[in-house]
Amino acid sequence: MGIGTLITLGVIVVVLVYGVTIYNSLVQIKHNVTKAWANIDVLLKQRHDELPKLVETCKQYMKFEQDTLTKVIEARSKVFTAREAQNIPALGGAETMLRGALGSLFALAESYPDLKANQTFQQLQTRISTLENAIADRREFYNESVNVNNVRIEQFPDVIVARLLNFREAQLLEFSEEEKKDVDVKQLFNS
């Protein structure tokens, strides 16, 4: 075996080892995105399970506020459908709708002292608020994982391995324009 053959074999081995290293790194990043989504999914499921209890508790007191309760139920259904389909854009919109409906429900609860004093309502309100905060934290982690994935599959030389082995871009969990706009504090005090 000549020196040229040894150099060629050496280069091939280095390229293969480097390709395997890139592949393994991309696989890990892809699974981080999947894990981040699964963490959001668990919290969405928990909140999905808690909302009917909250609505049922409110129904006992809020006989004339069916419109608000209906909005919560409809939004919950849309979040569930988007979550089950793993439709990230639809989930962002449904989440916006649900947060708005819950905000209205909790604001209306202020008008019902018996409901507000109800221990079950208080526990459910605290539980749902805690889940909302956890979901927000997980969304941030998910979007960071998606960003790392999307950047890596576009960087050279990772892009070569990513295209050869069919690694795909992941979708960010984004919010509607309504949720991103500034809050009109004056309007909140007038309503």
Question: Which CATH number do you get for residue 121?
Answer: 1.20.1440.20
Domain residues for the domain of 125 are 3-190
pLDDT in tens, the chain (191 residues): 789 888 999 899 999 999 999 999 999 999 999 999 999 888 888 888 888 888 887 877 766 577 778 888 888 889 889 888 888 888 888 888 888 888 888 887 777 777 777 788 888 888 888 888 898 889 899 999 999 999 999 999 899 989 989 999 998 887 665 554 444 444 543 44
CA neighbours within 13 Å on the CB side: how many for 27?
7
pLDDT at position 146, please?
Answer: 94
pTM to 2 decimals? 0.70
Q: Count the domains in the chain.
A: 1
pLDDT at position 150, please?
Answer: 94
Burial 23-60 (b: 16+ CB within 10 A, else e): beebeebbebbeebbebbbebbebbbebbeebbebbee
